[in-house]
Structures are given as structure tokens and as C-alpha cells.
Structure 1
């Protein structure tokens, strides 16, 4: 069977799967679960892919809701990544219900077309919005040896390329000594004063970096009562850069040095730790991008090609891209909508978005066919 015949088989298979994929997407949308709690979502996906003859491994890299579904033993190893966690109060405002359905459809369609010429994987990846299971999975070698890894994200446009920021969130806590604010004998050591000094210093520090850097935060603890000198004050920072190397070797050491200097100047003690793992920058594979673009055109879709340095958000897919050739394109599910908003959550459950599942699944599976 030639390549076009295999692609026609992919299209036919996804169309046959249409009702199943839409039902899975809407089930996830109506039953949103937070990261590491996606028991219903993972079970629904596992049941579906198991019915299509895939072998299942569960409890991956310490995550109960992670899984690896595979079919085939020889040829290129192509993985389609499923995300299925939701956001607090907003539900599927990032469209992970659509991502899960697209990747499942792509895996099943690619396997049906490729037969014994390739090994197809559906890899269930929990907690993208929080701890990022892909970071642990990448460290454990789950993505090593893959010929390609693909995932398509809902958006307000069809985009291809660009990158995502490397990020390593940091919690900084200053420790002082409590006292009554009116005490004449003990003025205490004000941890909040130290934190405010540190917070103010962040703005000046941000100007010293030679590469694009995002450095912002919030004060999450500033004391217990206004008549008590705060003995503990805490901030959570989001620290991002265009490369994980610059982030880890330049930006974060500078932030820690600033905190140490403030502690020395104020007589406080400071502690800091990363409350979420390192998400590396996203590297979109040029070859896969070209193939995906051509397949979107075959499907009648126009695509905006982004500059390689055009960064948008952060994702643990970045860690995958450092282990295997990866693409993370966007597919439009509406106009003028932004992720992590109530409007996006509504769009992710719309009839139009369910139809877009079929386009994303076909484009990924057709790109996998090209790799044969």
C-alpha cells in the first residue's frame, strides 16, 4: 500500500471513530478532574484504547493516573501524548479533553493504517497544569528511543512552531522573630519587611538579564495579626526564560543571591525551594513541523508559522522535546478566545470543538505515516 493509500486509511479510520472520540471528549469535559486525580478520565481512555487492541501499562513514574498504551513491536516508535487534567473552578479551560481525544484517535488510526510496520503509543500524561508528569516520565526514560512524539493543543488559531518558556517556580520564605509591635524591650525581626525589600528588588533584578526573562510573584503569607511583628513571610515566584540552561545557571542563582543579601541586611533567615519541577523550553522538530504543515494543507487547513523564538506559556512537553523529536502545534476551536478562561472552557465543550478533534487526529496520524 502506498503512502497516500495509508493516509486515506487514516482518514477513514478517524471518521469511523468520530462518535467515540467526541463522546470521550465530552465525558471528560463534563467530569473535570484536577491533576493526579484524573481517575475517571484515565480509566475511560484506557478502556477505549484497550478495545482497539493496545496493551496497557499503568502507574507510570509514580503517577497512578499515568499510562502507556502500545500496539506493535517493530518499526518506528511513534507516540501521541494525551493530557486530561482540568483547572480548579474552570474545568477544561485548557481543552485537555480535546487533546486526549485527538491523541487517542491518532494512535488508533495510525496503528490501523501502519499495521506491523510501526509501533504506536498513546501515552497518558497527568497533571500538566501542576506537577507535570512528563517531567518525571522524561527523567525515567519513558520517551527515549521514540522516533517522534506529537500532541495538538486547542487554540484560537492553527499555529505551528514557536516555543514555550522554561520555568522553575520558586517559593522564598523569610524567617524573623515575633514580638508585640508596641513592645519597648523587644522589637523582634520583621520577616515581612525583608520580603517586601526582596520583592522590590526583583523589579531591578529583572533589568539585569541579557535574555528574555519573566520574573513575577505573589506574597502568599505576610503575618498573622497586625499587632504582631511577622516572624514568617512567604512569596511564590514564577521564573521563566527562553532556555532552561539560562534559567538554571543565571536567573535562579541571581534570585537566590538577592534573597540571601536581603536576609543578611535585615537579620532574617531565608529558605527557598522549587515547589514545582523544571519545565524545559519546547523544541519543535523542523522535519515534523514540515510534514504536519503539509498534512494540514491536505486537510484543507491554513496554518500560521510562528518564529522559533516566539514563546507562549510553559509546558512539560518541553521536557519530552529534549528526549525525542517532538511537535506541539495548535488547532483552532474558536475565535478570540484565550486559554484558562471560562470562555475557553465553554468552547472546549462546543459542537465545533468536537469536530476539530477529527482534524487534529488525522493530521498527527498522517504525519506519522510520512515517517514510515
Structure 2
């Protein structure tokens, strides 16, 4: 098997699909949909997959907008992961329009070139920005039998390696007893006082951890009127660490103990609820990293290798990486860009980004070729 010849065929196949891939990306960019509501995006992607002979299953792991498309019967099973949800008020400020197009291009080109020697999977994963469909999909075993899972994320430079923070967001609610602030007989129990005490205790608590952590939150409820002692006060916290084990076994129990101690000291009661599921840390597979980096070099691209503990954000791709060998490299689409900003949203719809998505698709498909037996 001449893998170099197959890679040249992959490059040609993606170049031939350029108009289709760019049209998909721009359609998603012009029609942003929030997580779990990506009806138009899924319809467009499924039509593309079915049109090239992929078998498609929808409604995966409780998500109406999740799907699994595949083509082929034997050999290594390579999955290309698509994301397509947008951000409220910002549109595709994380570049999921580009991710969907890149992964579809890679899946289609790899299938065309590999033929009967492999199975190409194109897996639609909704709601990455919120509940993270990949969490439920991973728990359901969707990724267990794969040889590898590949996804490329837009950024301001080409990078590979590093990790992501494990995160398990927590809502803290203190319950007190209401009263009029001028009452001479009943002073009530101030739930907001308890929440403020808890909030002030978070910073010194963070200093006690031996691994890097992030504890950041906002007060979402602080009372109903200034002349009424708040009966209920609530906050939402994003709580992150470099590993899911440390997060679940050390950080979160400490946060709960702090909340319980504040409740005891103030005469309130407290409840803690995870309002989003656990995103595990990303494990980039070393072999896949090297293959991807080599293929980017073949495409004339330079890629920066990040340190293993270099974490930036959180993603449910981490949960996939705990099930099968995975990579989640970055592809540069412009300079000095920061995700989740209006400038990033504009960049993901630019003419330059539509050209760059072809590079990401090619590098993924070429890496899949390297995995052929």
C-alpha cells in the first residue's frame, strides 16, 4: 500500500469538495443555532453524508440533533467528530461551523480513498457549549470500538498537544427565612449574607489545592427587594482542575464542605447541584499527535507542540479521549484571536477561514490514512 499516493488522493478529493465544504461552513455561520436546537445544521450535514453513500442514524444518546454516519465494513474505524452549536448572542464565536465542515470533508475523502479497507465515521455531536452531548455519547459506548477519533478546532495559530480542564459546574443555593428588614420581632435569616460569606471563602480555599484549579462564579439570585431579608440566594460556579479525579475527589468535596460550614455558621441551609455534566480532561494520543504534525508538515504548515499540562478551556472531547485514542489540535484562522468574542465570530465566517478549513480536513484525512493496516 502506497500511503503517500493515498494521501495525494485525499488532498485531491478535498480540493474537489472545496465549494461544498465552504458552503456548509458559511450556511452554518449564517444560521447559528444553540445547543440541542441545531435542526438546520444537522439536516444539511446529514444530507451531505447520505448523498455520498453514508448510512445515517439519528437521535443518539437522548439528543435529537446527534447522529452517527458511517461508510465501510472492515478495517480500522476512524471517527471525525462534528460540532455545530453556536453561542447565544455571538453566533459561531467558537468556530463550530468550520469544525463541522472540516470533519465532513475528512470523513468523505478518507472513505473515498480507503474504500473497503476502513470504516469512516462522521459523528454529529451537539451542544458542546452547554450540556456536551459527547458526555452522554461516551457513557453510552458510542466511541468505545473506534480506532481513533479526530477533531480540529479553529484558533489563532496551529497547535497540538496540551490538555483541557476537567470541569463540573456547580450551583450553590442558600435558604434562609424572610422578614421585613425593619421588623422588631423577627430579623429573619439572611441567605444572601451566607452566599457572600461563601463567595469570600472561595479565594482562600483555592490556595489549599496542590493542583491547578479554577473556581469562578457569579451570583445569580440575591433577593427580591431591598427591604426584605433574602430568603434564597444562589450562585453558579465553574469549578475546574487538571484532572477529573482530582476535581471529583478533592476540589468539589472541599467546596461542598465550605458551603456546609457557612450554612452551619449562619443558620441557613444549603443545596449544591451540578447544572452541567462532568467534562473530563483531554488526553491527546502521542502517536496521533506525531502523525498529525507530520501531515501538517507535508501540507507546508508549522505546528507548535504544547506542554502536556498546558490547559486552555474545557471540552467534552475530553470524555471521548478517555474512551479511544483522540487528538484535538488547533488550526490557525487569523492572528490575535480569542474564542467566544465577536472578532472570533467574524473570523470564522471570513474568506480566509474558508480556505483554512481545507487544510484541517486534509490533515485529518491524511492522518487516518496512516492508520490503515
- TM-score, with normalisation over the residues of structure 2? 0.99
Which residue is equivalent to 2:3?
3
Q: 1:216: Cα distance to partner?
A: 1.0
| Unpaired stretches in structure 1, ≥5 consecutive residues | none
* Distance across 1 between alignment mates of 2:155 and 2:361: 15
* Distance across 2 between alignment mates of 1:292 and 1:166: 24
Alignment of 1:1-372 (within 5 A): 1-372=1-372
Q: 1:2: Cα distance to partner?
A: 1.0
* Distance across 1 between alignment mates of 2:49 and 2:9: 18
Secondary structure of 1:162's partner? strand
Per-residue CA deviations over 1:79-134 (Å, capped at 9, x if unaligned) read 00000000000000000000000000000000011000000000000000000000
* Distance across 1 between alignment mates of 2:336 and 2:203: 31
* Distance across 2 between alignment mates of 1:203 and 1:7: 52
CA RMSD across the alignment: 0.4
Secondary structure of 2:81's partner? strand
Number of matched residues?
Answer: 372
* Distance across 2 between alignment mates of 1:204 and 1:195: 15
Q: 1:73: Cα distance to partner?
A: 1.0
Secondary structure of 1:261's partner? helix
Secondary structure of 2:64's partner? strand
* Distance across 1 between alignment mates of 2:368 and 2:256: 44
* Regions of 4+ moved over 3 Å: none
* Distance across 2 between alignment mates of 1:64 and 1:336: 36
Secondary structure of 1:361's partner? helix
Secondary structure of 2:17's partner? helix
* Distance across 1 between alignment mates of 2:49 and 2:352: 24
Q: 1:301: Cα distance to partner?
A: 0.3
Per-residue CA deviations over 1:190-210 (Å, capped at 9, x if unaligned) read 000000000000011000000
Q: 1:250: Cα distance to partner?
A: 0.1
Q: 1:165: Cα distance to partner?
A: 0.2
* Distance across 1 between alignment mates of 2:294 and 2:260: 52
Q: 1:19: Cα distance to partner?
A: 0.2
Q: 1:75: Cα distance to partner?
A: 0.3
* Distance across 2 between alignment mates of 1:337 and 1:310: 18
| Unpaired stretches in structure 2, ≥5 consecutive residues | none
Secondary structure of 2:272's partner? strand
* Distance across 2 between alignment mates of 1:285 and 1:369: 16
Per-residue CA deviations over 1:162-220 (Å, capped at 9, x if unaligned) read 00000000000000000000000000000000000000000110000000000110000
* Distance across 1 between alignment mates of 2:64 and 2:231: 39
* Distance across 2 between alignment mates of 1:32 and 1:10: 30
Q: 1:272: Cα distance to partner?
A: 0.7
- TM-score, with normalisation over the residues of structure 1? 1.00
* Distance across 2 between alignment mates of 1:276 and 1:284: 23
* Distance across 2 between alignment mates of 1:305 and 1:195: 42
